[in-house]
């Protein structure tokens, strides 16, 4: 098989498919998405906790989230496919003055950008999140417009709408190398044959660096394992229960019908592609969960899984044309917030590729920032 395309998107996860949808909508030309697995979205996207929040510490991340949230609200109108975006809110529990100072500054920035976010007293917390232990909490932030989305809905919606716009999606098709002439990409080599194209969009998630290596360029995205545990049914969790993040311990949890989903970032995990479940990691999540929600003592563990974050040194995504090679666009490195930023990221990527002014000034996400030393870290990463 030798095919031709105006653009080949490597990766049928949420980033690849939202970009495909937007490029199709903008009638960019003949677009092919290649996904190495049988199922679309079966990489990091399927492992995601579903959290969507605009409560970040940097302007660019707040803007990316606010744009994504507005696109999620109109997802069905836009794609013709219904998607759950349950705006149950996001709460950060603050237990000391240093955390309070950081979060108060972030709240100020978020409000200046139009986000409706409150700093609430411990007495308010249990009205929103009943079983949470609050005796050591001094304040919490709460944004009611944040919430939970279903990554599977988004994958179905973007892929169905992209196909309707003429985008071709090839599954079980792995890019094994790139065709390069001088400093220009001219195509991709796959296990099913070559596809000639002047433009590839690297949306390979945790494998972004590997695709970069095929062109001899360094993309600073590392795969880092993260685990999740879900509980069985819990009759004390209301359907309005929000996402709660315990800032001190790093534990996060939200309702996952009919119980809770619990997650935590083990900062000692080293980069690698292993996604086997580590029982010590599971225990570490459960210990933190019991401390924050003592009623979980009688809960049953339902499921547990591991997936990969695609982490950059400053915990910001990388969006833009790759340096040192012509014909590779990067939409990678979302550092644990790729599902929530995918709607905005697909839009701005397509706008730039089509030569339009992007809806958001994404210069802080430029691939050039690392070489220039112009990095600004996002510190509110879970």
15 lies in the binding site for ligand FAD (CB under 6 A): yes
Give whichever of 112 and 303 is closer to ligand FAD, judged by the CB atom: 303
For ligand FAD, which stretch binds (CB under 6 A), given 20-28, 283-291, 331-339, 351-359?
Answer: 331-339
In this chain, which of 129, 162, 308, 319 binds ligand FAD, going by CB under 6 A?
308
In this chain, which of 231, 328, 334, 362 binds ligand FAD, going by CB under 6 A?
334
Q: Supply the minimum distance, in Å, between the C-beta of residue 377 and ligand FAD.
A: 17
Footprint of ligand FAD on residues 194-223 (CB under 6 A)? 203-207, 211
336 lies in the binding site for ligand FAD (CB under 6 A): yes
3 state DSSP class of 177 = strand
Which residues have CB under 8 Å from 11's CB, separation 6+? 33, 34, 35, 43, 202, 203, 204, 205, 207
Footprint of ligand FAD on residues 168-197 (CB under 6 A)? 174-175
Q: Supply the minimum distance, in Å, between the C-beta of residue 15 and ligand FAD.
A: 4
8 Å CB contact between 208 and 221: yes
- Secondary structure percentages of the chain, helix, strand, coil, to 5: 35, 25, 40
Q: Supply the minimum distance, in Å, between the C-beta of residue 373 and ligand FAD.
A: 25
Main-chain phi, psi angles of 142, to 5 degrees: -145, 130
In this chain, which of 5, 7, 24, 43 binds ligand FAD, going by CB under 6 A?
43
In this chain, which of 25, 139, 226, 255 binds ligand FAD, going by CB under 6 A?
226
Q: How many residues does the chain have?
A: 382
CA distance linking residue 274 with residue 257, whole number of Å: 28
Main-chain phi, psi angles of 260, to 5 degrees: -125, 150
In this chain, which of 19, 22, 31, 36 binds ligand FAD, going by CB under 6 A?
36
Compute the C-alpha angle 66/256/116, nearest 5°.
25
45 lies in the binding site for ligand FAD (CB under 6 A): yes
In this chain, which of 5, 8, 9, 14 binds ligand FAD, going by CB under 6 A?
14
Phi-psi region of 304 (alpha: psi -120 to 50; beta: other; left: phi over 0): beta
11 lies in the binding site for ligand FAD (CB under 6 A): yes
CA distance linking residue 125 with residue 129, whole number of Å: 6
48 lies in the binding site for ligand FAD (CB under 6 A): yes
DSSP 85: E
50 lies in the binding site for ligand FAD (CB under 6 A): yes
Tell me the number of residues near ligand FAD by CB under 6 A. Answer: 41
80, burial (CB in 10 Å: exposed 0-12, middle 13-18, buried 19+): exposed
CB atoms within 10 A of CB 366: 18
For ligand FAD, which stretch binds (CB under 6 A), given 37-45, 55-63, 294-302, 355-363?
Answer: 37-45
34 lies in the binding site for ligand FAD (CB under 6 A): yes
8 Å CB contact between 351 and 358: yes
CA distance linking residue 193 with residue 297, whole number of Å: 54
In this chain, which of 117, 293, 339, 350 binds ligand FAD, going by CB under 6 A?
339
In this chain, which of 25, 47, 315, 316 binds ligand FAD, going by CB under 6 A?
47
The contact set with ligand FAD (CB under 6 A) reads 10-16, 34-37, 41-45, 47-51, 174-175, 203-207, 211, 226, 228, 307-310, 334, 336-340
């Amino acid at each position: 098989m030798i095919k031709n395309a105006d653009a080949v998107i490597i990766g049928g996860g949420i980033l690849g498919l939202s970009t495909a949808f937007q490029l199709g909508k903008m009638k960019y030309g003949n677009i092919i998405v290649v996904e190495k697995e049988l199922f679309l979205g079966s990489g990091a996207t399927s492992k995601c906790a579903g959290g969507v929040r605009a409560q970040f510490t940097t302007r660019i991340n707040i803007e990316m989230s606010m744009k994504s949230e507005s696109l999620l609200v109109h997802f069905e109108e836009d794609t013709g496919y219904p998607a759950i975006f349950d705006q149950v809110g996001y709460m950060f529990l603050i237990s000391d003055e240093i955390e309070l100072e950081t979060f108060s500054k972030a709240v100020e920035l978020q409000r200046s950008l139009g986000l409706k976010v409150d700093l609430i007293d411990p007495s308010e917390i249990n009205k929103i999140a009943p079983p949470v232990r609050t005796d050591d909490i001094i304040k919490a932030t709460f944004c009611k417009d944040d919430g939970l989305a279903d990554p599977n809905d988004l994958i179905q919606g973007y892929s169905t709408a992209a196909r309707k716009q003429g985008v071709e999606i090839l599954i079980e098709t792995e890019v094994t190398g790139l065709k390069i002439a001088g400093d220009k990409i001219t195509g991709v080599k796959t296990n099913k044959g070559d596809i000639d194209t002047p433009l590839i969009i690297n949306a390979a998630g945790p494998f972004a660096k590997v695709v970069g290596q095929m062109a001899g360029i360094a993309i600073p995205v590392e795969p880092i394992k993260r685990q999740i545990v879900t509980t069985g049914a819990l009759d004390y969790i209301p359907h309005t229960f929000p996402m709660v993040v315990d800032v001190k311990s790093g534990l996060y949890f939200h309702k996952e019908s009919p119980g809770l989903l619990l997650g935590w970032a083990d900062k000692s995990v080293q980069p690698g592609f292993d996604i086997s479940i580590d029982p010590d990691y599971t225990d570490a999540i459960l210990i933190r969960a019991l401390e924050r929600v003592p009623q979980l003592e009688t809960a049953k563990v339902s499921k547990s899984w591991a997936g990969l974050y695609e982490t950059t040194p400053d915990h910001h995504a990388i969006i833009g044309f790759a340096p040192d090679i012509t014909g590779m666009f990067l939409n990678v490195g979302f550092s644990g917030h790729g599902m929530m930023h995918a709607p905005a990221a697909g839009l701005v990527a397509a706008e730039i590729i089509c030569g339009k002014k992007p809806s958001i000034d994404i210069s802080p996400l430029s691939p050039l920032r690392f070489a220039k030393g112009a990095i600004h870290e996002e510190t509110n990463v879970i």
